């Protein structure tokens, strides 16, 4: 099959964007990709002088691409610093901090790791043995977010960068719609007390483009999926959205735009928010991490 030319310069294209109708060569793909990420940062005013940016670094394609992009963007700035965090949830045969550490070191970025075993006294594998794997993603997600926030505060991080891409963001909006979760759809995206502000530079970039960017720039990133991820609602929503978006390419952008327009609008029931007396982390309604840990650490069944 003959190579198709780039829509901008006629060199061989490496990707076709169905939503834009453009074929792009490597040079123009990278320029287009990075301009989307920079535009998101400017639009949300996510990086300011004096910031210490912490990157949640799993070692997969999204976080590896994000660390490369931010190191390239901020590498020569003396007023902003970068650090990478890897959380070891304790999932045998899946989580290995070594690839993330190598990638960070290759980019000249400080790398810090932390584990569920060290901070919570239990691993995800142990939780699954006690409670079964049906709610493994719920337990893991809540504890991982809490530990990331805790480590970020300890390291003086002012903003925590997440590798969420356009597909992830669209899936989150659709999941909230399917659950009828008006609170999450309408909750303002503001800063909560005790919570390090999150930034998501790739939120307008499709997952396949993040994967290609990672392939072009990063060696040795992880490609496996968590063995428990099949239990997550997100897996079902991903399949639904992929099928629909194949016929309607702008769907993901529409969902993300909807989520942003709904954020902070309307009147929803409000719940008490505060800082947990036990763990010192922020919560809404209840401290889910402490409740979950109480369930699994005191479950002798």
Q: Is 93 exposed, middle or buried (0-12, 13-18, 19+ CB in 10 A)?
A: exposed
Average pLDDT of every residue of the chain:
91
Q: Residue 88: which H helix or E strand, with range?
A: strand 81-88
Q: Residue 136: its pLDDT value, please?
A: 85
Residue 190 has pLDDT above 80, yes or no: no
Each residue's pLDDT tens digit, 158-177? 999 999 999 999 999 999 99
Q: How far apart are CA 103 and CA 221, in angstroms?
A: 8
Give me the percent of the chain exceeding a pLDDT of 90: 69
Domains of the chain, first to last: 33-297 (3.40.50.620)
Q: Residue 272: its pLDDT value, please?
A: 52
Contact between 40 and 200 under an 8 Å Cβ cutoff? The reply is yes
Task: Compute CA distances 81 → 47, 86, 102, whole Å.
Answer: 11, 17, 19
Each residue's pLDDT tens digit, 222-248? 988 888 887 778 889 999 999 999 999
Q: What average pLDDT does range 178-197 have in this prediction?
A: 82
- Say whether pTM exceeds 0.85: yes
Q: What residues contact residue 73 under an 8 Å CB cut-off, 6+ apart?
A: 34, 38
């Amino acid at each position: 099959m003959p190579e198709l030319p780039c829509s901008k310069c006629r060199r061989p294209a490496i990707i076709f964007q169905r939503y834009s109708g453009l074929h792009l060569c490597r040079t123009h793909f990278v320029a287009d990709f990075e301009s989307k990420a920079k535009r998101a940062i400017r639009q949300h005013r996510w990086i300011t002088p004096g910031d210490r940016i912490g990157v949640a670094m799993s070692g997969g394609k999204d976080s590896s691409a994000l660390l490369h992009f931010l190191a390239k963007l901020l590498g020569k700035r003396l007023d902003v610093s970068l650090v990478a965090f890897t959380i070891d949830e304790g999932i045998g045969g899946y989580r290995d901090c070594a690839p993330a550490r190598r990638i960070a070191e290759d980019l000249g970025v400080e790398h810090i790791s932390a584990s569920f075993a060290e901070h919570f006294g239990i691993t995800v594998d142990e939780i699954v043995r006690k409670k079964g794997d049906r709610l493994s993603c719920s337990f893991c997600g809540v504890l991982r977010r809490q530990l990331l926030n805790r480590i970020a505060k300890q390291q003086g991080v002012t903003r925590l960068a997440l590798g969420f891409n356009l597909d992830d963001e669209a899936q989150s909006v659709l999941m909230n719609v399917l659950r009828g979760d008006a609170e999450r759809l309408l909750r303002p995206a503001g800063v909560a007390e005790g919570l390090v502000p999150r930034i998501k530079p790739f939120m307008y970039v499709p997952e396949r483009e993040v994967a290609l960017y990672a392939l072009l720039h990063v060696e040795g990133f992880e490609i496996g999926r968590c063995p428990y991820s099949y239990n997550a609602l997100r897996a079902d929503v991903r399949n639904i959205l992929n099928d629909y978006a194949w016929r309607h390419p702008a769907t993901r952008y529409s969902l993300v735009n909807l989520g942003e327009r709904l954020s902070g609008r309307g009147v929803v029931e409000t719940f008490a928010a505060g800082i947990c007396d036990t763990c010192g982390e922020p919560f809404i309604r209840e401290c889910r991490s402490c409740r979950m840990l109480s369930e699994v650490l005191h479950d002798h069944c």
